[in-house]
Structure 1
Amino acid sequence: MLYRDNGRKLVLALKHGDRHDVVRPAALWLARAAQPLLTRNMLIAPIPLHWLRMLKRRFNQSALLAKALAIEVKQEQCPDLLIRTVRTRSLDGLRRDERFETLDGAISVHPKRRHKLVGRDVLLLDDVMTSGATLSAATQACLSAGAKNVCILTLARVAKDT
């Protein structure tokens, strides 16, 4: 969905409003969208939060979505496959190139989970895609650690007005 109007309200309700009741219907939408991407033995992983942000928020909305999606499509998920090794500043208001620069090297594969992705297809899940910088950093981390292929899926996408 587009990240505006009701789509934005829905994502923000999950992300900041503790509206976990959004997860189940969102997982159904994501499962339908994911069908062309899914492969046998694919591993589903959420985009990670830095541990300090996780403490503040108390949950990772992308991990909730990834878990529900994995159940829906009957695929394995790994909630801590990736770790945010750098506490980056908020990306709000940053230009595209600033976002990519900020996230360069900020995400890596958890050393104790690397074996789960070697030679496998991975589906990365995030709540919102703005510039693609976060998903790009996570994709590079997975490919560098030995993933066969990486696909991405988001609940919402920011679109520029034309």
Structure 2
Amino acid sequence: THAKRVKRPTSLVEQAINSSAFERIADFLATRRATLKDGSLNKLEKVSAKERIMRKGHLLKDLSRNYTDTERFLNALTLGSNEMSEGEGVNLLSIHASKGLEFDDVYIVDLMDGRFPNRKLMSMGGSLEEERRLFYVATTRARNKLFLSYARFDKIKKINYTHSPFLVEAGLVS
């Protein structure tokens, strides 16, 4: 995988936060955060929100310095990091770490069959019912908006995906 080819997690994070894509995503998220219910934009809040997002990027870079192995760093992020979820702004959490919390907007990614439910975990003794409960936990963290996404094709691995069966059970796809 790409993560294994990168020597140090810090270089991976630096590349990401110095990219124009990160800048565009931060701007998009800050605009969403600063858009009022009437559709107008609170420019001061947008600047503040973007600063918080950029700080999170730099915090991620600081955290990455604690790891020499990219795979271990990514695993630590997947399991959740208290430092990354403090304060306002964008929080990157695992579903387990999000239990009991609520957020205005929630994005759930990787909702592909085999990834969610996770076939690898289920083959190691996990249950479909536990995965279903986790899906429920994830989808009930949003106060206002819930965004669900899945990939249809992985260009690097050349793999086609289908959506998670939980999306069918929820009546969101057929």
* Pairwise TM-score range, normalised by the shorter structure: 0.3 to 0.5
The structure with the largest alpha-carbon Rg is 2
Question: What is the TM-score normalised by the length of structure 2?
Answer: 0.34
**Higher percent of residues as helix:** 2
The structure that is strand-richer by fraction is: 1
TM-score (norm 1): 0.36
